[in-house]
Structure 1
């Protein structure tokens, strides 16, 4: 067994190895360069590596797909992801899908899973197409630009429509503007918001004030939506969340608020980053770009989805997931003590040659023809904590590509790949995925 409970009869095992650098140094390296450091640590120390990182303290990196699969399959009370994600609580709240555990998480999951199933997601496809068609017409043609910022805006437009519906009023305009100003995905801001002292100064004070106004507007919107005469007929997520308040396992206004904020931020930034990396790769792989253009024009959704999945593998945006250990365990050849934070390193698994032929190559067709074990492709996590919005993310990404690539070709003025940087929760292109769009050549009849 890869993971075993520890009892009085268990033979003693050593703690996982790791660097002896000071905690402050380890924290700095992990915060800004974890996507590079993790692979080097695996080469030096193996599949299980111990660190000391603020704000978690004892951190154990798990780099092996089989170990991670065993974690995902373990009893939910052994690894508590909500506790591991407490760094997000000042923004996402105490009762969101990412920050809750145990029965609370299971209840939220039961209520919300139908809202993000394949059938429900297909109902949003026309809105995604409409918003994308309108937005890409404003993108520069013939001159280089950073695609990540454009895609972030479009992705926020899409998740906003999914959550709030097509309504526009003064409150929603103000709320949208505040959300765009809140630097919630900045790791330094998130860490500072967990400190009462930091929240009184500088960017953390500004973020706290923004959050207070956002919450006031959200609670007003929740109250107003609850009294809407057509609440039962509305398909937007906020209406469904508010409507769930009348059921036996219903949601309180605080819980509705926490789900809405979680979905807004977790639902657009990782998808935007994945799409930006996809365009980055298309601009530097002309053969793949030609195949993608044909797929967009012919309606080949399978290839477009494979394209997105390969970008998520090759350029994993959410590089790790975070779990708090609730009991002593033996993990492989090592003993890990209760209270440690275990981090399955998703990005390391995605580059493992044990599961991927030529892992450095950008080959979307591997997701159409290769036999990839399910536990080796985990951009959305796994087990009971797998991202509830996975179907929406893939559908949205494929639909955006279908619209864009049926109108424009993608190139770049700088063929050299951009470095990956960790300035936020996601690992993003250093120059914002700089590309050049050009009109498609006219075809004669």
Structure 2
């Protein structure tokens, strides 16, 4: 049963007075500020109202309680998942990912699907993907323009899309890849307005929603055909792509498999590409860090390359927040919050807090090495608890291989010394100029 959102229709005055303090701007104004300026909007609210504050967002002027302290966020992540529903917190994604997506299911359905997904993302499986990713990464970086400026974020988006198509979907036929690439590009370029279809299904009959769904249907046609072919493949057990491993390890309907593949596509494409763009953005501006990264790439020091990726995700959180919905009245962060409240763990506020990270605005991969790593709950780009992103290991592996491919071959220089600002692109925060770089041979 779906938990009703706590909002303008269900919030009484007495309950409203018991909520954490927050902005009194109109709901639409708060929604616009959240969508377009959350990296500045949330810090201002915390400075004014404290570590726990309330915002109100469309639809329905829903009550969103924002948490910015690691101990408060740990309360949420450690609360039984039957009480804090992550799937209900992602309702807007249903028209895009499908109702069976791991990000949209809760309770027993989530446990079952996560258990079936795990074999495709355990350590042994990840090691099996490494060479495929490395091959695609080498092919991409070899094609970089030499001595000319280019937007690295665009190149990373192309590369991570290729990893999804070949390593996750297992599509290697050149004709099918040529047909898939432009269609998938339309799907992954989904704009926030499309997500309104999750709250207002009647919109799906009109453009741009109808146009998006038409492209999605064409992708689905290919995915369902790929699933059918894989089910009939006598050499399924020998294949080393994620789809084949999912089929070998679990009992899935075609629709369930389709929804997981689209989820992996949308959750693992733009986010990984953006994290890598931010990593190169920093390396290109800090010669000592670039040299250390190149040395790590030469020495096959995967721990240091992974630390670069982690520090990029720390300093530049690609996704600024994750949400949950309370299914019953619960005490969180010292407040008794009613059923239907949306909880929002503000990743960006935690990872950008000087109390959690000395020299918080500086890029130091060494934070993630040695005997004094960041305190628990202060590095949460993949969320936490039972809903921690299942693809976290895959993302770090992919980032490591791509960093190695580029850093063994090139020096990278920023086109301009001043850093690029983080600007919203759909649900992610990307470099405002696309991470403009110049690459020269080492």
Q: TM-score, structure 1 length as denominator?
A: 0.92
2:11 maps to none
Deviation digits for residues 373-431 of structure 1 (CA, Å, limit 9, x no counterpart): 12111111111001111111111101111110110001112110111011211111111
Deviation at 1:34, TM superposition (A): 1.1
How far apart are the structure 1 equivalents of 2:346 and 2:22?
Answer: 15
2:391 maps to 389
Count of residues in Structure 1 that have an aligned counterpart in Structure 2 = 425
1:145 maps to 150
How far apart are the structure 2 equivalents of 1:178 and 1:119?
Answer: 32
How far apart are the structure 2 equivalents of 1:185 and 1:200?
Answer: 16
Deviation at 1:166, TM superposition (A): 5.2
Specify whether residues 185 and 274 from structure 1 end up closer, same or farther in structure 2 by C-alpha distance, changes over 3 A only.
farther
Matches within 5 A, 1:38-187: 38-55=42-59, 57-165=62-170, 167-168=172-173, 170-187=175-192
1:257 maps to 258
Specify whether residues 195 and 13 from structure 1 end up closer, same or farther in structure 2 by C-alpha distance, changes over 3 A only.
closer
Pairing 1:238–2:243 present:
yes
Deviation at 1:298, TM superposition (A): 1.6
Gaps of 5+ in 1: 1-11, 441-445
Deviation digits for residues 246-301 of structure 1 (CA, Å, limit 9, x no counterpart): xxxx1111100000110111122111110000011111111111111111112111
Of 216-225 and 122-131, more deviation after overlay is shown by 216-225
Deviation at 1:353, TM superposition (A): 1.6
Could you say what secondary structure the match of 1:261 adopts?
helix
2:33 maps to 29
Gaps of 5+ in 2: 1-15
Specify whether residues 382 and 185 from structure 1 end up closer, same or farther in structure 2 by C-alpha distance, changes over 3 A only.
farther
Q: 1:16 pairs with 16, 20, 29, which one?
A: 20
How far apart are the structure 2 equivalents of 1:289 and 1:169?
Answer: 36
Q: TM-score, structure 2 length as denominator?
A: 0.92
How far apart are the structure 2 equivalents of 1:44 and 1:121?
Answer: 44
2:432 maps to 430
After superposition, the CA RMSD in angstroms is 1.7
Deviation at 1:185, TM superposition (A): 4.3
Deviation digits for residues 18-74 of structure 1 (CA, Å, limit 9, x no counterpart): 001111111111111112211111111111111111237111111111111111111
1:6 maps to none
Pairing 1:421–2:423 present:
yes
2:367 maps to 366
How far apart are the structure 1 equivalents of 2:94 and 2:146?
Answer: 41
Matches within 5 A, 1:331-370: 331-369=332-370, 370=372
1:401 maps to 403
Deviation at 1:175, TM superposition (A): 2.6
Deviation digits for residues 81-110 of structure 1 (CA, Å, limit 9, x no counterpart): 011011111011101111111100000111
Of 303-312 and 214-223, more deviation after overlay is shown by 214-223
Could you say what secondary structure the match of 1:359 adopts?
coil
Specify whether residues 334 and 193 from structure 1 end up closer, same or farther in structure 2 by C-alpha distance, changes over 3 A only.
closer
How far apart are the structure 2 equivalents of 1:169 and 1:193?
Answer: 34
The answer to whether the 8 A contact 2:91-2:198 is kept is no
Of 230-239 and 266-275, more deviation after overlay is shown by 230-239
Q: 1:220 pairs with 206, 216, 225, which one?
A: 225
Deviation at 1:112, TM superposition (A): 0.9
Pairing 1:272–2:273 present:
yes
Deviation digits for residues 360-384 of structure 1 (CA, Å, limit 9, x no counterpart): 1111111114431121111111110
